[in-house]
């Protein structure tokens, strides 16, 4: 990918964030958005930008970056164009954790993200354990299959839990499952950044290994990759990234699936390029989706996860058409 | 030097390789031939330690393959598997550069290195394409280029001439011959018996997971031996140009007696 394309991707993200800060029930002109940083903005603008919109936009960007990168890494490691963190147990586990938190009232203590994260972690551990037990060398298909199965089991558990939760709490749990960046705060953003940056860098370090893994089991082994342990490591790291995004913003579907494809079509073909490109594209997509989520039915929000899916479905259909014609 | 010592490979109840001994010495072109299902590719997989061998050992020089770490093995032997479909297309040059993966921490990949490998494999003309935009024959040559970029003392190719036309098939065997003459141990799995007769130093003929015959083409490629192993009437003549055995399978109304 050329330098100009990288600059364009970076500029697109900055523009999306600026737009996210400017647009809303109270419009803050772009000029004034930047004046917030120089201390001569109106108190209202300062309040809206600093306390509400900027943390929300940055949180959305972090969530998008994490999901985009995790999706790209999983698709490469598992050699599967449909692989994404949500398909492989992360979302199911997080949902169980989240719904349980609603059911027993942990949400009042602000422990929802912790519960969701632990749920995701538990599900991913089960997936890896199944794959490990089922085949001596955990091959990519085993990870995909056990991921799908654990996800299905988790969904069943969510339904059972929801059926037994009081209606008001059930509504809260449902909303959370549909994804939202609405409650973003700076400390939350800080935690997410501190957690995401090293995990994402670690995945990026495996970029060339991912190129080799994507060739298939036998060629990868011939080139000296430890296929089983490398696939598991990538799976685990990508799931950890996705689990953190779920803890921060609930379930934001389709980003991990669609963004890597979009980045590939922009010319990112090897993983050292594809991973950062997917992070940038994912960040931009989710920031834009969040603008739609809070302006379409303003002043009410519509779920962020619904917006990303609504945008993602036609995009994916177009891709399928291009592949089949 | 690659040496197979009493190697057995089992898939569930099926024993695909039942105690195979042979060696592919440095500086020689060794051909591993035999009917479909005779255990050729299983031998290659045993070399990659992909399936726990049910018995025996594969040696690279004086080192047991099973005792080597993956990368260390890939620095000793390059393997081009029979089939390979990348999950996502990538530029041909990047694909060939992956041959340097086992050496990652040593010398950096240079564009010259990659282009030299592509040139030698006769694939420089597709260097700027994507791996999903090359023909079956070009793909074979691009994969050979990656093995050349890996730059190992031993090289193993599983049916490298599948999908190649006559000219490229000849070019591929000339290349293998040249690699052996440079001092590398070259082991090729192939069905092209006539090319094997002309190019190989040693032929190892497998049948039902065992070595049915091995030696120079003159020794192995006799009518009775081939007829017994392949279950098809074959006449062995002489290549008028180089004097190598030349195989002519006969037309026959009878069906093959074994697969």
Burial class, A252, CB count within 10 angstroms (exposed 0-12 / middle 13-18 / buried 19+):
buried
A223–B101 C-beta distance less than 8 A: yes
Give the max Cα distance, chain A.
64
Burial class, A323, CB count within 10 angstroms (exposed 0-12 / middle 13-18 / buried 19+):
exposed
| Chain A CB within 8 Å of residue B50 CB | yes
Rounded Cα gap, residues B14 and B36, in angstroms: 15
Contacts of B104 in chain A (CB under 8 A): 208
pLDDT at B231: 92
Give residue-wise pLDDT tens across range B76-101.
999 999 889 888 999 999 999 999 99
From first to last of the 325 residues of chain A, give the pLDDT tens digit: 889 999 999 999 999 999 999 888 778 887 777 777 776 667 777 888 888 899 999 999 999 999 999 999 999 998 888 888 888 888 889 889 988 888 888 777 778 888 888 998 899 889 888 887 876 555 778 888 888 899 899 989 988 888 888 888 888 888 888 888 888 899 989 989 999 999 999 999 999 999 999 999 899 999 999 988 898 889 889 988 988 898 888 889 889 999 999 999 999 999 999 999 999 999 999 999 999 999 988 788 889 999 998 888 888 888 777 765 5
Give percent of chain A above pLDDT 90.
Answer: 41
Measured between its terminal Cα atoms, the distance across chain B in Å is 31
pLDDT at B52: 65
Long-range contacts at B17-21 (CB < 8 A, ≥ 24 apart): B17/B42, B17/B43, B17/B46, B17/B209, B18/B208, B18/B209, B18/B210, B19/B55, B19/B56, B19/B209, B19/B210, B20/B56, B20/B206, B20/B209, B20/B210, B20/B211, B21/B211
Task: Output the DSSP codes for A60-116.
Answer: HHHHHHHHHHHHHHHHHHTT-TT--GGGGTHHHHHHHHHHHHHHHTGGGGT-HHHHH
For residue B176, which of B78, B83, B74 has the smallest C-alpha distance? B78
Among B10, B81, B88, the residue to mutate for chain A (most A Cβ within 10 A) = B88
User: What is the overall mean pLDDT for chain B?
Assistant: 91
Burial class, A46, CB count within 10 angstroms (exposed 0-12 / middle 13-18 / buried 19+):
middle
Of residues B54 and B223, the one with the higher pLDDT is: B223
Rounded Cα gap, residues B216 and B30, in angstroms: 9
Contacts of A208 in chain B (CB under 8 A): 98, 101, 104
Q: Is there a contact between B204 and B225 (Cβ–Cβ < 8 Å)? A: no
**SS3 (DSSP) at A48:** helix
Query: Closest residue of A to B86, CA-based?
Result: A215
Give A 223-242 residues with CB within 8 A of chain B.
Answer: 223-226
| Chain B CB within 8 Å of residue A30 CB | no
Give B 179-208 residues with CB within 8 A of chain A.
Answer: none
In terms of residues, how long is chain B? 259
What angle, 0 to 180 degrees and rounded to 10, lies between the N-to-C axes of helices A271-295 and A3-22?
20
A82 CB neighbour count, 10 Å cutoff: 11
For residue B93, which of B128, B141, B122 has the smallest C-alpha distance? B128
pLDDT at A256: 93
**SS3 (DSSP) at A187:** helix
Give Cα B57 distance to the centre of its chain.
19
Task: Output the DSSP codes for A222-289.
Answer: HTT--HHHHHHHHHHHHHHHHHHHHHHH---TTHHHHHHHHHHHTT--SHHHHHHHHHHHHHHHHHHH
| Chain B CB within 8 Å of residue A17 CB | no
Q: Return the bridge partners of B206, or none.
A: B211
Between B52, B86, B102, which is nearest A223 by CB? B102
* Complex-level ipTM beyond the 0.95 threshold: no
Query: Closest residue of B to A267, CA-based?
Result: B90
A75–B102 C-beta distance less than 8 A: no
Query: Closest residue of A to B71, CA-based?
Result: A224
Rounded Cα gap, residues B12 and B20, in angstroms: 19
Give residue-wise pLDDT tens across range B198-217.
999 999 999 999 999 999 99
**At B21, which helix (H) or strand (E)?**
strand B14-24
Between A214, A218, A223, which is nearest B88 by CB? A214
Rounded Cα gap, residues B63 and A263, in angstroms: 44
Give residue-wise pLDDT tens across range A296-320.
887 888 899 999 988 888 888 887 7
Q: How close B226 gets to chain A, by Cα (Å)?
A: 31
Q: Which residues contact A129 (CB under 8 A, 6 or more apart)?
A: none
Between A208, A224, A264, which is nearest B73 by CB? A224
What angle, 0 to 180 degrees and rounded to 10, lies between the N-to-C axes of helices A54-77 and A227-249?
160
Q: Is there a contact between B158 and B9 (Cβ–Cβ < 8 Å)? A: no
Q: What is the pTM of this model?
A: 0.90
């Amino acid at each position: 990918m050329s330098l100009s394309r990288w600059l364009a991707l970076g500029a697109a993200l900055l523009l999306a964030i600026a737009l996210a800060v400017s647009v809303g029930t109270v419009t803050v002109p772009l000029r004034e958005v930047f004046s917030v940083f120089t201390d001569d903005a109106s108190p209202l603008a300062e309040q809206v930008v600093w306390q509400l919109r900027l943390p929300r936009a940055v949180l959305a960007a972090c969530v998008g970056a994490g999901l985009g990168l995790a999706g790209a890494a999983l698709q490469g490691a598992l050699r599967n164009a449909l692989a994404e963190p949500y398909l492989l147990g992360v979302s199911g586990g997080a949902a169980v954790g989240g719904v349980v938190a609603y059911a027993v009232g942990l949400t009042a203590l602000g422990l929802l993200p912790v519960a969701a994260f632990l749920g995701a972690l538990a599900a991913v551990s089960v997936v890896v354990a199944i794959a490990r037990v089922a085949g001596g060398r955990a091959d990519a298909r085993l990870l995909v299959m056990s991921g799908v199965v654990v996800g299905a089991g988790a969904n069943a558990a969510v339904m059972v839990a929801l059926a037994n939760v009081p209606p008001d709490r059930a509504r809260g749990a449902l909303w959370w499952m549909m994804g939202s960046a609405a409650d973003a705060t700076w400390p939350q953003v800080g935690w997410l950044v501190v957690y995401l940056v090293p995990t994402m860098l670690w995945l990026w370090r495996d970029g060339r290994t991912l190129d080799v893994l994507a060739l298939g089991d036998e060629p990868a082994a011939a080139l000296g990759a430890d296929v089983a342990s490398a696939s598991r490591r990538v799976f685990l790291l990508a799931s950890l990234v996705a689990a953190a995004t779920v803890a921060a913003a609930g379930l934001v579907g389709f980003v991990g699936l669609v963004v890597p494809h979009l980045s590939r079509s922009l010319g990112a073909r090897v993983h050292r390029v594809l991973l950062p490109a997917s992070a940038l594209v994912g960040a931009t997509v989710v920031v834009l989706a969040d603008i739609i989520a809070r302006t379409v039915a303003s002043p009410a929000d519509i779920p962020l996860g619904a917006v990303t899916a609504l945008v993602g479905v036609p995009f994916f259909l177009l891709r399928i058409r291009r592949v089949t014609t | 030097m690659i040496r197979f010592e009493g190697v057995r490979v089992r898939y569930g109840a099926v024993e695909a390789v039942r105690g195979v001994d042979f060696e592919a010495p440095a500086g020689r072109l060794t051909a591993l031939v035999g009917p479909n299902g005779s255990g050729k590719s299983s031998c290659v997989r045993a070399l990659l330690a992909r399936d726990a061998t049910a018995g025996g050992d594969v040696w690279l020089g004086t080192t047991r393959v099973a005792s080597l770490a993956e990368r260390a093995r890939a620095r000793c032997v390059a393997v081009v598997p029979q089939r390979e479909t990348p999950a996502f297309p990538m530029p041909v040059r990047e694909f060939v550069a992956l041959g340097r993966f086992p050496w990652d921490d040593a010398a950096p990949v240079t564009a010259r290195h990659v282009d030299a490998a592509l040139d030698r494999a006769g694939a420089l003309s597709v260097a700027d394409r994507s791996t999903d935009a090359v023909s079956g024959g070009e793909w074979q040559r691009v994969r050979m280029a990656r093995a050349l970029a890996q730059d190992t003392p031993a090289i193993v190719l599983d049916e490298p001439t599948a999908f190649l036309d006559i000219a490229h098939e000849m070019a591929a065997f000339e290349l293998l011959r040249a690699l052996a003459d440079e001092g590398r141990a070259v082991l090729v799995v192939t069905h092209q018996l006539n090319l094997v007769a002309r190019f190989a130093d040693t032929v190892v003929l497998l049948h039902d997971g065992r070595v049915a015959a091995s030696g120079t083409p003159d020794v192995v490629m006799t009518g009775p031996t081939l007829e017994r192993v392949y279950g098809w009437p074959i006449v062995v003549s002489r290549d008028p140009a180089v004097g190598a055995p030349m195989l002519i399978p006969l037309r026959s109304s009878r069906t093959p007696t074994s697969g």
